[in-house]
Amino acid sequence: MNLEIPSKYKGTLKAAYGAAEKILRPISRKYDLAEHTYPKELDMLAAALEAMNTPAAATEQVAQSNESNTKNGNNMQSVLYIQALNYGDVGMSLTIPGRGLGNAAISAVANPEQLAKFGKTWASMAITEPGAGSDSAAITTTAKKDGDFYILNGEKIFITAGERSNAVVVWATLDKSLGRAAIKSFVVEKGTPGMELIRVEKKLGIRASDTAAIMFTNCRVPASNLLGNAEIDVKKGFGGVMETFDATRPFVAAMSLGAAQAAIERTRELIGAKLKLTDFTNPINNIDAVEAEFFRMEADYEASRLLVLRAAWMADNRMPNSMEASICKAKAGRVCTLITLKCIELLSSIGYSQQELLEKWGRDSKILDIFEGTQQIQQLIIARRLLGKTSQELK
């Protein structure tokens, strides 16, 4: 694995970091304070990103790199690009038109016809329910076959961009008695009868992004909108749907990298004049306490970054990456929260006030350790893979 950023992505990354600093950062505080107000500036940004051919979650491009046995494709480009945008603002990165979490789900399990139909549709993802959070297998939203349609009934909560997106990828069970294997995902387009937005949440962080609750009452969805295979394979179990998480967890981990990178760099700027930071010529027993904290933060950040690149590289090379996706999500999510809070602490009153964006980054970072599977769920998945246990054997 080559640890250098592929040269073919450097132009895109430069543009993404430029957008993060020049477009997202200047309006970050404005939309944090004006929760539920859509950032109109994102329309222009989305058009610019489209023109630059930045990675979209619903494409399946894999490009051959200079290394004969290494393929860097959409997954690698996406994590690099996502980190760059989240260096600007986490909340707004989640509500850029055309780049929803549901698009990654479509990419992971859709057939070619569905990719052609929904590939450019801005899609959010509806998994969580009032009684089913990290345990996705506890989903109670039902999908009953009725001729050429499925009828969906249930409530979904905490849907990122659920109000603004053009479609929602809904997880529902075809037969609760068959357990995990019967859970499938459906694309439900906005305006479908029986689909009702019931509220938009007020939140601690990512306030520029809308987080919605949606009720489905006898909602008729074309059978062709069921993503992937409609057959229930009890032997395969939850595997088909879990492919979505294998794709999206490195993306969320990359979001954590962007926020952590922003916090470290801004903190170094604010206190760097007083300290000669990252000077490795000093003996370890003769460094400033603040300097030592930077060493720890940068080591954790770099470890997280390499884990994310590994999971993305495996996905591009069609290698099973379920464990690696959970490892990078667990590590990056935890590290991001620790780093942003430590930076607030090091900057004292400046970090805690709204004079700087540090306190906002601290609030934004916590969700990155929660959604797409909590720390505890990631550790459980990793343990199952390492020990060769099923979900029934290790709960």
Query: Mind telling me the catalytic residues?
Result: 372
By the 10 Å C-beta count (0-12 exposed, 13-18 middle, 19+ buried), 40 is classed as exposed
- What residues contact 96, with CB distance under 8 A and at least 6 apart? 42, 45, 46, 49, 85
State CA 59 to chain mean position distance. Answer: 16
Q: Which residues pair with 124 in a beta bridge?
A: 168
Assigned token pair, 214: 């949606």
CA 189 centroid distance within chain: 21
| Tokens 């076959």 sit on residue | 145
Cα angle 19, 21, 24; round to 5: 70
- The CA-atom distances, in angstroms, between 303 and each of 23, 46, 257, 335, 344 are 29, 31, 10, 10, 22
Residues in the chain: 395
383: three-class secondary structure by DSSP: helix
Cα–Cα distance for residue pair 114/112, rounded to 1 Å: 5
Q: Distance (Å, rounded) from C-alpha 317 to C-alpha 65? A: 12
* b/e per residue 151-175 (b: at least 16 CB within 10 A): bbbbbbbbbbbbbbbbbbbbbbbbe
Three-state secondary-structure class, residue 188: strand
